[in-house]
Amino acid sequence: MARVFAAQGRDLALCARRTDRLDELKAELTKKFPGINIAVATLDVNDHDEIPKVFNHFVAELGGIDRVIVNAGIGKGAPLGSGKLWANKATVETNLVAALVQIETALEIFKSAGSGHLVLISSVLGNKGVPGVKAAYAASKAGVSSLGESLRAEYSRGPIKVTVLEPGYIESEMTAKSASTMLMVDNESGVKAMVRAIERETGRAVVPSWPWAPLVWLLRRLPPRYAKRFA
């Protein structure tokens, strides 16, 4: 996404736990697109006190932030009741609790600025509880989608725009070990679909729409015992 937005002339604020790759990306994009500004910072979203510090550092460095994409997430998990509470707890804390802190921080910044665009990256699995190792993951993403829908209702007339994206399986390090390779969308196609939806400020979208929009329609209607096929 950073590369696509940079090609559109967007300034970027990039943060992650490991900044070595972000520093390399900054060097790559600065060389290719010298007209944009790129700020990089270290951030573990589970360190809640650091989120407002990093976000406001970006505001000061770039002169403001007009869009925040809440994208950090992990895919750890174990069947509920299997004795691996730590894995499920980590998933919910990173995907949902940390997302809430980022949302709160972004909204404060947007309210102060008078406008802004909040983008929440949920998942197609947020539409249906799934058994096994992805139970906590699906629940965490359902929570993200619910928060987004609440905010869409709250800011239905602006000045803050809210987008909830529900990606299917898109090729990445996180999905590399997924068993659902038949449904995997290549990284370039998946990213382009996400960026298009973000740029349009779409309220809620399944991305890419093919094959995932019809699959989500089906997933919502499947009896619980069949949901495992999407896990």
Other CB atoms within a 10 A radius of the CB of residue 54 amount to 20
101-104, long-range: CB within 8 Å, 24+ apart, which pairs? 101/45, 101/48, 101/51, 102/45, 102/51, 102/55, 102/68, 102/70, 102/72, 103/70, 103/147, 103/151
DSSP 8-class letter at 23:
H
CB 85 within 8 A of CB 38: no
Q: Please state whether the peptide bond connecting residue 208 to the residue before it is cis, i.e. omega within 30 degrees of 0.
A: yes
**In this structure, what token pair is assigned to residue 128?**
């249906």
CA dist list (Å): 168 to 44, 108, 180, 184: 25, 30, 10, 8
Is 155 considered catalytic here?
no
Alpha-carbon gap, residue 68 to 15, rounded angstroms:
11
Residues marked as catalytic: 137
